[in-house]
Amino acid sequence: MTATAQRALLLTGTFIVILLAVAVAFVHKDASGLRGAAIGAGVGLANLGVGALVTRRSLRKGMRSTMTMLMGGFLGRLLVLVGLYLVFEQTPSIDPAAFALTFLVFFFVYLGLELLMVERQRATAPPGAPPAPDITGSAA
């Protein structure tokens, strides 16, 4: 694993810990908060499962396909997060902050998983294959 990937993984783990701490501190433990957290966890787990399958499939097609899928997936998740937050903001029975914080925890878990999958693919390139371009911009 490259030094850049290791730092990115450490940063991702740090964000997960920070988001968990913020969620525990600020999410109300009432019915709407728990409902929002449950929906965020459900959508996050669905994102994690589907994203892992799609990423694995795109890695078989090459790094260009993978990068296209990762960027498209990022934008798609952002739109889902913002859209559902706006919907839940109009619904008093669901705490939108609890939803967003919980979803973001799973988002960063998935981001770490993506990083590991891409790095594993780079490390297991067949002998004689041209090296995968370093999209991180580092020389390591």
pLDDT in tens, 62-85: 878 888 888 888 888 888 888 888
pLDDT in tens, 88-103: 889 889 888 888 899 8
pLDDT value at residue 14 = 92
Report the distance separating Cα 105 and Cα 64, nearest Å.
27
Q: Cβ distance 119 to 1 under 8 Å?
A: yes
pLDDT value at residue 85 = 85
